[in-house]
Amino acid sequence: MKQTELTQELVLAVAVKQAGLEKTFQKFPEDISIAFNTVAKLRAAGQLSCDPLTEFWPPMRVKE
């Protein structure tokens, strides 16, 4: 295992723990890994705001 792969696994483990996704990660590790990598790439490209109050997608609205 390369150094970068080990580092990525450790960062993912910390993120999962901080987000409280341990049970979800046990059931769906591949999905959580893909989501984590997607967010990391978007942040690195500057396309994802670091403001947690800013939604990444348009707000959902109830159709009447």
Q: Is 12 helix (H, G, I), strand (E, B) or coil?
A: helix
Which residue stretches of 1-64 are H helix? 3-19, 22-27, 29-45
3-state DSSP assignment of residue 3: helix
- Please determine, for residue 47, whether its predicted confidence score (pLDDT) is greater than 80: no
pLDDT recorded at residue 13: 92
Contact 48, 27 (CB under 8 A): no
- Average pLDDT, rounded, for the chain: 80
- Rounded average pLDDT over 23-45: 88
Residues 6+ apart with CB under 8 A from 24: 32
Higher pLDDT residue, 52 or 28?
Answer: 28
| pLDDT on residue 5 | 79
